[in-house]
Amino acid sequence: MKKLVLLCACAIGALASSAQSPIDHFNVGPYVIDYNGKGDVKYRLRDGIDLYDFFELQRDTTVVVNCPKPDLVEHGVEIGAKIGFGSHGLAWDVAGRYAISVAQNVYFTPGLQVGMTMRTSDPTDYAALEVGVPLTIGFSEMARHKVSIYAEIGIVPAFYTLTSKPDDYKYKKSGVLISPMGECGLNIPSGDNIFRIGVWGEAKLNTATDNDNIYKKQLGVGFAGLKVGYLF
């Protein structure tokens, strides 16, 4: 009997001890925090609190989170280089262009480029030096601190002259090209400037007659390849 009484007394003492463990209460804004040691936290809205009144909100209030607007490029100078391959050979050029914003996410980009088209499909030596004026319209959310995609279409009027030809050459040595082109790729921030990498395609259309068309006969008309550029 004594053992049973002692066991009951111990149980009652243990319950009383746990019931007397202190719980700290904190008021944090409109909430009550019950803190009973690390990892033992409960919270609830304080009695009689109306969040609309507490934060002085209207009943139809909409909370809007304003995101910072990207630093869009209004204008800039791009230095770039392209290389591509066609059915008979390869073409490359370097260019400087000036990008001007003409509407939201629309850019007009005139410039100047110098390049060469060379035949490599057989030992016959043909090469043409080209000087052109690329005129393109680009579409992109071009920002200085945000990765974005871009696409461009345009036309490249150019003057060409042959720098290499065989002894039995029978075509016009120089002339004019009108070349439609397209390009797409990525704008990648680089500090306050933009690194550009993409793919391009171009059709070099010679204004000469078929009999004198050195591109159609020897150098190739369609070319496609890679482009890299840096916009300041």
Confidence of residue 19 (pLDDT cuts 50, 70, 90): very low
Instruction: Identify the burial level of 186 via C-beta atoms within 10 angstroms of its C-beta, where 0-12 means exposed, 13-18 middle and 19 or more buried.
Output: middle
The CA–CA distances, whole Å, from 42 to 28, 31, 46 equal: 12, 10, 12
Q: Which residues pair with 13 in a beta bridge?
A: none
User: pLDDT digit string (tens) for 87-97?
Assistant: 888 999 999 99
pLDDT: which is higher, 16 or 192 = 192
The pTM score is 0.66
Residue 225 pLDDT > 90: yes
The answer to whether 129 touches 106, Cβ cutoff 8 Å, is no
How high is the pLDDT of residue 5?
46
User: pLDDT digit string (tens) for 146-204?
Assistant: 899 999 999 999 999 998 887 777 778 889 999 999 999 999 998 889 999 999 999 99
pLDDT: which is higher, 110 or 10 = 110
CA atoms of 35 and 109, how far apart (whole Å): 64
CA atoms of 189 and 77, how far apart (whole Å): 15
**Chain-wide mean pLDDT for the chain?**
84
Residue 10 pLDDT > 60: no
pLDDT: which is higher, 81 or 142 = 81
User: pLDDT digit string (tens) for 50-77?
Assistant: 877 777 777 765 667 676 677 788 899 9
How high is the pLDDT of residue 9?
53
User: pLDDT digit string (tens) for 25-50?
Assistant: 778 778 888 877 776 778 787 887 88
Residue 138 pLDDT > 80: yes
Confidence of residue 20 (pLDDT cuts 50, 70, 90): very low
Q: Which residue carries 């990648």 as its tokens?
A: 188
Reported as type and span, the H/E element at residue 6 is helix 2-19
Sign of CA dihedral 110, 114, 120, 125: positive
The answer to whether 84 touches 181, Cβ cutoff 8 Å, is no
